[in-house]
Amino acid sequence: MLAVCLHKGAVFLRDQPRPRRPDGFALIRLLCGGICNTDLELQRGYYGFQGTPGHEFVGEVVDADDSNWIGQRVVGEINLACGDCEWCKRGLGRHCPRRMLLGILKHPGAFREFLTLPLHNLHRVPREIPTMHAVFVEPLAAACEIRDQVRIPAGAPVAVLGDGKLGLLIGQVLKAHGAEVHQYGHHKEKLRIAATLGIDARLRKKAPAAAYDWVVDATGSSLGLVQAAKMTRPRGTVILKSTVHGLVGIDSAPVIVNEITLVGSRCGRFEPALKLLRRGQVRVDNLISEVLPLKQASLAFRRAAQAGAMKVLLNA
Amino acid sequence: MLAVCLHKGAVFLRDQPRPRRPDGFALIRLLCGGICNTDLELQRGYYGFQGTPGHEFVGEVVDADDSNWIGQRVVGEINLACGDCEWCKRGLGRHCPRRMLLGILKHPGAFREFLTLPLHNLHRVPREIPTMHAVFVEPLAAACEIRDQVRIPAGAPVAVLGDGKLGLLIGQVLKAHGAEVHQYGHHKEKLRIAATLGIDARLRKKAPAAAYDWVVDATGSSLGLVQAAKMTRPRGTVILKSTVHGLVGIDSAPVIVNEITLVGSRCGRFEPALKLLRRGQVRVDNLISEVLPLKQASLAFRRAAQAGAMKVLLNA
Q: What is the DSSP string of A25-75?
A: EEEEEEEEEEE-HHHHHHHTTGGG--B----EEEEEEEE-SSGGGTT-EEE
Strands A311-315, B180-185: pairing kind: unpaired
Q: Is A21 inside a domain boundary? A: yes
Residue B282 burial class via C-beta count within 10 angstroms: exposed 0-12, middle 13-18, buried 19 and up: buried
Q: Is the pLDDT of residue A244 over 90?
A: no
Looking up residue A257, the CATH number of its domain turns out to be 3.40.50.720
Q: Is A277 inside a domain boundary? A: no
Q: A132 and A171: one domain?
A: no
Q: Is the pLDDT of residue A232 over 80?
A: yes
Is the Cβ pair A258, B95 closer than 8 Å? yes
What local confidence, expressed as pLDDT, does residue A47 receive? 78
Share of chain A above pLDDT 70, in %: 99
What local confidence, expressed as pLDDT, does residue A24 receive? 96
Amino acid letter, residue A111: F
Q: Are B249 and B274 in contact (CB under 8 A)?
A: no
**In chain B, whose CA is at the least distance from the CA of A261?**
B263
* Contacting residues of A for B240, CB less than 8 Å apart: 252, 255-256
Q: B130 and B159: one domain?
A: no
Is the Cβ pair A250, B245 closer than 8 Å? no
Q: Is A230 inside a domain boundary? A: yes
Torsion, CA B144, CA B150, CA B151, CA B153, rounded to 10: -90
Q: What are the residues of chain A with a beta carbon less than 8 Å away from any beta carbon of chain B?
A: 87, 92, 95, 97, 149, 210, 222, 225, 234-235, 240-253, 255-266
What local confidence, expressed as pLDDT, does residue A153 receive? 96
Amino acid letter, residue A193: I
Is the Cβ pair B261, A256 closer than 8 Å? no
Q: B247 and B293: one domain?
A: no
Nearest chain B CA: its distance from A238 CA (Å) = 10
Torsion, CA B35, CA B36, CA B40, CA B45, rounded to 10: -110
For range A121-126, the mean pLDDT: 98
Instruction: Give the pLDDT band of residue A222 (cuts 50, 70, 90).
Output: confident
Q: B132 and B6: one domain?
A: yes
Spatial distance between the Cα atoms of A78 and A141, rounded to a whole number of angstroms: 11
Q: What is the DSSP letter of A287?
A: G
Q: B125 and B150: one domain?
A: no
Q: B208 and B243: one domain?
A: yes
Q: Is B12 inside a domain boundary? A: yes
Q: Which long-range contacts link A302-307 to residues 24+ away (Cβ below 8 Å)?
A: A304/A35, A304/A39, A304/A40, A305/A40
Q: What are the residues of chain B with a beta carbon less than 8 Å away from any beta carbon of chain A?
A: 87, 92, 95, 97, 149, 210, 222, 225, 234-235, 240-253, 255-266
Looking up residue B70, the CATH number of its domain turns out to be 3.90.180.10
Torsion sign (Cα): B13, B18, B22, B25: positive
Q: A21 and A130: one domain?
A: yes
For range A81-85, the mean pLDDT: 94
Is the Cβ pair B251, A253 closer than 8 Å? no
Is the Cβ pair B244, A253 closer than 8 Å? yes
Nearest to A259 among B234, B260, B264 (CB): B264
What local confidence, expressed as pLDDT, does residue B48 receive? 86
Q: B19 and B124: one domain?
A: yes
Q: A71 and A148: one domain?
A: no
Nearest to B234 among A95, A234, A235 (CB): A95
Instruction: Give the pLDDT band of residue A64 (cuts 50, 70, 90).
Output: very high
What local confidence, expressed as pLDDT, does residue A267 receive? 93
3-state secondary structure of B313: strand
For range A73-79, the mean pLDDT: 97
For range A296-316, the mean pLDDT: 96
Q: B182 and B111: one domain?
A: no
Q: What is the pLDDT of chain A when averaged over all its residues?
A: 95
Distances (CA, A) of A58 to A33, A312, B29, B104: 6, 14, 74, 59
Spatial distance between the Cα atoms of A292 and A171, rounded to a whole number of angstroms: 27
Size of interface A-B (CB pairs under 8 A): 108
What local confidence, expressed as pLDDT, does residue A22 receive? 97
A17 CB contacts (<8 Å, ≥6 apart)?
A1
Nearest to A252 among B244, B252, B255 (CB): B244
Q: Is the pLDDT of residue A2 over 90?
A: yes
Nearest chain B CA: its distance from A62 CA (Å) = 32
Task: Determine which of A255, A265, A267, A269 to mutate to test the interface with B (most B C-beta atoms within 10 Å).
Answer: A255
Q: Is B73 inside a domain boundary? A: yes
What local confidence, expressed as pLDDT, does residue A268 receive? 96
A61 CB contacts (<8 Å, ≥6 apart)?
A26, A27, A28, A69, A70, A71, A72, A74, A122
**In chain A, whose CA is at the least distance from the CA of B229?**
A264
Q: Is B273 inside a domain boundary? A: no
Burial A95-134 (b: 16+ CB within 10 A, else e): bbeebebbbbeebbbbbbbbbbbbbebbbebeeebebbbb
**In chain B, whose CA is at the least distance from the CA of A244?**
B253
Q: B120 and B202: one domain?
A: no
Nearest to A235 among B95, B241, B258 (CB): B95
**In chain A, whose CA is at the least distance from the CA of B96?**
A234
Q: Is A270 inside a domain boundary? A: no
What local confidence, expressed as pLDDT, does residue B249 receive? 72
Q: Is B277 inside a domain boundary? A: no
| Domain coverage including residue B168 | 143-264
**In chain B, whose CA is at the least distance from the CA of A240?**
B256
Say what the ipTM of the complex is.
Answer: 0.93
Nearest chain A CA: its distance from B231 CA (Å) = 14
**In chain A, whose CA is at the least distance from the CA of B247?**
A251
Task: Determine which of A147, A245, A252, A260 to mutate to test the interface with B (most B C-beta atoms within 10 Å).
Answer: A252
Q: What are phi and psi of A230, to 5 degrees?
A: -65, -35
Torsion, CA B145, CA B150, CA B154, CA B159, rounded to 10: -80
Q: Is the pLDDT of residue A248 over 80?
A: no
Nearest chain B CA: its distance from A128 CA (Å) = 32
* Spans in chain B with pLDDT lower than 70: 245-246
Closest by alpha carbon to A117, among A134, A95, A101, A141?
Answer: A101
Q: A210 and A180: one domain?
A: yes
Where is average pLDDT lowest: A17-31, A213-227, B71-85? A213-227
What local confidence, expressed as pLDDT, does residue B223 receive? 85
Closest by alpha carbon to B310, among B192, B198, B200?
Answer: B192
User: How many domains would you assign to chain A?
Assistant: 2
Question: How many CB atoms within 10 Å of residue B107?
Answer: 20
